[in-house]
């Protein structure tokens, strides 16, 4: 069992508030990813759960027991550090065996356990080597081995893949997902990499400035971001934001004027919207060349050809750079104006506070349950 | 060029010459007294002050290395005392400094900064300045004319430097290692024993060497003031025995000096093998 409940957890370092009241429930066996930009408090929150930092206020409850004053080992958690934190003077065997040595497990049991963990992580050939002679991926596996050998209730990962190169990171991502499936343990994973979050998480917690911006399944965050921050954080390249003015809010949607064109976007209307300045959000991958509901010209300044798609950067009427991703090899060249368009159904609308008007996308249409069965 | 060196290591011919010239000047200053001392130890006493002065000894021999034991029969004991005192000082300093340095490196406690500054300030006083208070202290404690009279102040004055040295070394050990051990349930002491001590070994060796050398070199002043018993005298006082009433037996004095520092050299030679760098490779990243 590994349920975690955070109840209005706050953390201040002197005058600076790092965590501003986080309330969160993590179910047993769930893979939850904390994601956010640097300094958003995600690592601090993880360290509070681990017991390496005290919460200034609020309760941390694991399996119904308040653990605020318990040492990490008593909380039933194990942690994998960003820097691996392997003991360089010990062999791989001793590194993995360390938590068992601490609890003075008999030698025979210890050996059996370490060897079974090593087999799971494909480290059985490396047990007598020192961490210094291992590759980055192997070191990472030793660090994970040290965490799973104790069979904790909850695993905590602090940006475990950020020191690996891109190819290895993709491999380890798959291995971690498999490991989560095999162990069926609760895992909490901190990363700044939205790809890691999207690919591994059952649920993503987006943190911004010590607040939870949104909690949801990966595709929920992608299709129904609750605010501009989540909308721009999830997705690569970032969502484009264009200024728009509301001229009508009717049951079928909100009608805005954007780039001089009138378009009705299918979002939940709200009273008092008419005349308001809004922000229209459109993801680069939803922009196409040619005709659509909203159509305008851009002058590409940079064109990136990735094979699978072509990414175009240009300056638009908004202050932020405008980007578009076209499938395959699109016929665009730098400094040659191109006509692009997008459809009203793909648009997001945000009010002046950055809060989203809920889109009428039915998440069942994209079969979320099948994609993300917990 | 047959052998390629990296650009950063390539020098013009005149640069090479000036580098070696500078090294030569430096080495001459450092080593000349030793060379001269060694040559003196080879010369017969009667030829020492012969005029004109000769650098290379005529009729040179190692006789002084044998006769020195007869002129000062207790010389062996003095060397033993020196080694004994230095060893005990080193052990005492290490026992006290390792936990202290760890605490200064890792724990936040009030007064840490001022304490460290105070340690540095203590180093500005040599023991000589404090001889009279120290003497009174030793007398009240009743340890005048014992080994302790030389060991206690010797250790006390070496501790501050040792703490600073080892603290700096321990601060370089990644904090995550301790956090990982803590998360795995290890106590502070267990972590110190199993993680910190093995990783700090090169630093501890440096501290051991500097302390041993320091103790070996500083004994003179304490031995002279706090001890009047011949059987406890260390090497520097023992060398004084070669200063006779009529004349100084220079060649034997020099021979004795070389014999006296030989044990220390051997100790250092063996300890320095443990100064392996890169022991923390693979810990983080």
Query: Do residue A72 and residue B198 have CB atoms under 8 angstroms apart?
Result: no
Same domain membership, residue A26 and residue A156: yes
Neighbours of A32 (CB within 10 A): 23
| Residue among B183, B185, B285 minimizing CB distance to A103 | B185
Q: pLDDT by residue (tens digit) across A241-288? A: 988 999 988 888 899 998 888 899 999 888 888 888 899 999 999 999
Quote the domain boundaries for residue A26: 4-228
pLDDT at A78: 93
pLDDT-derived band of residue A330, with 50, 70 and 90 as boundaries? confident
Q: What percent of chain A has pLDDT over 90?
A: 48
Torsion angle of the four alpha carbons A40, A41, A46, A49, in this order, in degrees rounded to the nearest 10: -140
Q: pLDDT by residue (tens digit) across A188-245? A: 999 998 889 999 999 999 999 889 999 999 989 999 999 999 999 998 889 999 889 9
Last residue of a domain, one of A194, A228, A262: A228
Same domain membership, residue A189 and residue A64: yes
Q: How far is B105 from chain A (nearest CA, A)?
A: 18
Cβ-proximal residues to A326 (8 Å cutoff; 6+ apart), any chain = A287, A288, A289, A309, A310, A311, A312, A332
For chain B, give every domain's residue range.
Answer: 7-61, 71-280
Q: Which of B174, B184, B204 to mutate to test the interface with A (most CBs of A within 10 A)?
A: B184
Are the C-beta atoms of B165 and B207 separated by less than 8 Å?
yes
Q: Which residues of A touch B177 (CB under 8 A)?
A: 85, 87
pLDDT at A367: 55
Same domain membership, residue A261 and residue A200: no
Query: Do residue A51 and residue B190 have CB atoms under 8 angstroms apart?
Result: no
Query: Do residue B190 and residue A103 have CB atoms under 8 angstroms apart?
Result: no
> What's the CA gap between A328 and A186, in Å, rounded?
39
What residues 77-106 of chain A have any CB closer than 8 A to a CB of chain B? Answer: 77-79, 81-89, 98-99, 102-103
Neighbours of B211 (CB within 10 A): 25
Query: Do residue A88 and residue B283 have CB atoms under 8 angstroms apart?
Result: yes
Query: String of b and e for B91-130 (b: at least 16 CB within 10 Å)?
Result: ebbbeebbebbbbbbbeeeeeeeeeeeebeeeeeeebeee
Same domain membership, residue A217 and residue A144: yes
Q: pLDDT by residue (tens digit) across A137-187? A: 899 899 999 999 988 999 999 998 888 888 888 888 998 999 899 888 999
Same domain membership, residue A161 and residue A267: no
Cβ-proximal residues to B43 (8 Å cutoff; 6+ apart), any chain = B57, B58, B59, B60, B251
Q: Is the pLDDT of residue A82 over 50?
A: yes
Query: Do residue A50 and residue B183 have CB atoms under 8 angstroms apart?
Result: yes
Query: Do residue B282 and residue A89 have CB atoms under 8 angstroms apart?
Result: no
Residue A251: phi and psi, rounded to 5, are -55, -30
Q: Which residues of A touch B174 (CB under 8 A)?
A: 83, 85
Same domain membership, residue A248 and residue A300: yes
Mean of per-residue pLDDT scores for chain A: 88
Same domain membership, residue A207 and residue A297: no
pLDDT at A364: 61
Last residue of a domain, one of A179, A195, A228: A228
Same domain membership, residue A61 and residue A126: yes
> What's the CA gap between A95 and A132, in Å, rounded?
12
Ranges in chain B, pLDDT < 70: 1-3, 50-51, 127, 274-285
- CATH number of domain containing A159: 3.40.50.300
pLDDT at B281: 46
Same domain membership, residue A249 and residue A221: no
Number of domains in chain A: 2
Nearest CA in chain B to A73: B185
Last residue of a domain, one of A228, A262, A284: A228
pLDDT at B19: 94
Residue B253: phi and psi, rounded to 5, are -60, -45
Predicted-assembly ipTM surpassing the 0.90 threshold? no
pLDDT at A38: 87
pLDDT-derived band of residue A366, with 50, 70 and 90 as boundaries? low
pLDDT at B1: 46
Query: Do residue A52 and residue B190 have CB atoms under 8 angstroms apart?
Result: no
pLDDT at B233: 85
Same domain membership, residue A70 and residue A215: yes
Same domain membership, residue A165 and residue A56: yes
Same domain membership, residue A88 and residue A41: yes
Cβ-proximal residues to B54 (8 Å cutoff; 6+ apart), any chain = none
How is A93-144 classified by DSSP, letter by letter? HHHHHHHHHHTT--HHHHHHHHHHHHHHTT-TTSTTS-GGGS-HHHHHHHHH
Are the C-beta atoms of A125 and A142 separated by less than 8 Å?
no
- CATH number of domain containing A351: 2.40.50.100
pLDDT at B279: 47
Q: How far is A20 from chain B (nearest CA, A)?
A: 25
> What's the CA gap between B57 and A140, in Å, rounded?
66
CB proximity B198 to A under 8 Å = yes
Q: Which residues of A touch B195 (CB under 8 A)?
A: 87
Q: How far is A105 from chain B (nearest CA, A)?
A: 13
The predicted model scores a pTM of: 0.81
C-alpha of A269 from chain center: 29
Q: Specify the fold of B71-280.
A: MetI-like fold (1.10.3720)
Q: pLDDT by residue (tens digit) across A4-46? A: 999 999 999 888 889 998 999 999 999 999 999 988 889 999 9
Q: Is the pLDDT of residue A80 over 90?
A: yes
A305-322: average pLDDT = 81
Q: Is the pLDDT of residue A91 over 60?
A: yes
């Amino acid at each position: 069992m590994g349920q975690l409940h955070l109840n209005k957890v706050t953390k201040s370092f002197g005058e600076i508030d790092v965590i501003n009241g986080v309330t969160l429930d993590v179910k047993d066996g769930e893979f939850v990813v904390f994601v956010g930009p640097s300094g958003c408090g995600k690592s601090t929150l993880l360290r509070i759960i681990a017991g390496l930092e005290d919460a200034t206020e609020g309760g941390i409850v694991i399996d119904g027991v308040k653990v605020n004053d318990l040492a990490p080992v008593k909380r039933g958690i194990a942690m994998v550090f960003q820097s691996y934190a392997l003991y360089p003077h010990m062999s791989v065997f001793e590194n993995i065996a360390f938590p068992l040595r601490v609890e003075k497990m008999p030698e025979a049991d210890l050996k059996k356990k370490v060897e079974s963990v090593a087999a799971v992580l494909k480290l059985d050939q490396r047990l007598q080597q020192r961490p210094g002679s291992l590759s980055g991926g192997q070191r990472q596996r030793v660090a994970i081995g040290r965490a799973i050998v104790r069979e904790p209730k909850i695993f905590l990962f602090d940006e475990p893949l950020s020191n690996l190169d891109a190819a290895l990171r993709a491999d380890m991502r798959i291995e971690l997902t498999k490991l989560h499936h095999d162990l069926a343990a609760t895992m909490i994973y901190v990363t700044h990499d939205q790809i890691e979050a999207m690919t591994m998480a059952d649920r993503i917690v987006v943190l911004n400035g010590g607040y939870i911006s949104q909690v949801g399944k990966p595709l929920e965050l992608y299709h129904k971001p609750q605010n501009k921050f989540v909308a721009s954080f999830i997705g690569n390249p970032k969502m484009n934001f264009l200024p728009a003015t509301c001229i009508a809010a009717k049951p079928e949607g909100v009608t805005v004027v954007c780039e001089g064109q009138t378009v009705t976007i299918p979002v939940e209307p709200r009273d008092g919207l008419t005349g308001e300045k809004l922000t229209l959000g459109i993801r680069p991958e939803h922009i196409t060349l040619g005709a659509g509901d909203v159509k305008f010209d851009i002058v590409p300044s940079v064109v990136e050809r990735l094979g699978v798609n072509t990414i175009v950067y240009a300056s638009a009427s908004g202050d932020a750079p405008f980007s578009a991703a076209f499938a395959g090899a699109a016929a665009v060249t730098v400094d040659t104006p191109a006509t692009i368009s997008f459809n009203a159904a793909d648009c997001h609308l945000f009010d002046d506070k950055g809060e989203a008007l809920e889109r009428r996308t039915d998440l069942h249409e994209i079969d979320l349950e099948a994609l993300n069965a917990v | 060029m047959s052998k390629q060196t990296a650009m950063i290591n390539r020098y013009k011919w005149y640069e090479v010459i000036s580098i070696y010239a500078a090294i030569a000047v430096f080495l001459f200053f450092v080593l000349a007294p030793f060379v001269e001392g060694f040559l003196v130890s080879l010369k017969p006493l009667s030829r020492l002050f012969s005029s004109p002065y000769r650098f290379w000894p005529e009729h040179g021999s190692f006789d002084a290395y044998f006769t020195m034991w007869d002129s000062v029969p207790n010389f062996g004991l003095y060397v033993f005392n020196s080694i004994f005192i230095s060893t005990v000082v080193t052990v005492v300093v290490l026992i006290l400094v390792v936990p202290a340095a760890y605490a200064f490196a890792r724990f936040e406690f009030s007064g840490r900064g001022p304490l460290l500054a105070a340690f540095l300030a203590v180093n500005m006083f040599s023991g000589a300045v404090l001889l009279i208070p120290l003497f009174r202290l030793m007398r009240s404690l009743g340890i005048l004319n014992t080994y302790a009279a030389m060991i206690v102040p010797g250790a006390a004055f070496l501790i501050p430097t040792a703490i600073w040295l080892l603290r700096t070394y321990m601060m370089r050990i990644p904090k995550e290692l301790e956090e990982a051990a803590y998360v795995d349930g290890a106590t502070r002491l267990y972590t110190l024993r199993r993680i910190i001590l093995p990783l700090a070994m090169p630093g501890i060796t440096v501290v051991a060497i500097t302390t041993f050398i320091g103790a070996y070199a500083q004994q003179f002043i304490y031995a002279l003031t706090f001890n009047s018993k011949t059987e406890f005298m260390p090497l520097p006082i023992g060398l004084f025995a070669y200063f006779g009433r009529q004349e100084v037996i220079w060649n034997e004095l020099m021979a004795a000096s070389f014999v006296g520092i030989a044990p220390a050299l051997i100790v250092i030679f063996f300890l320095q093998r443990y100064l392996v760098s890169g022991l923390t490779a693979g810990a983080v990243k």
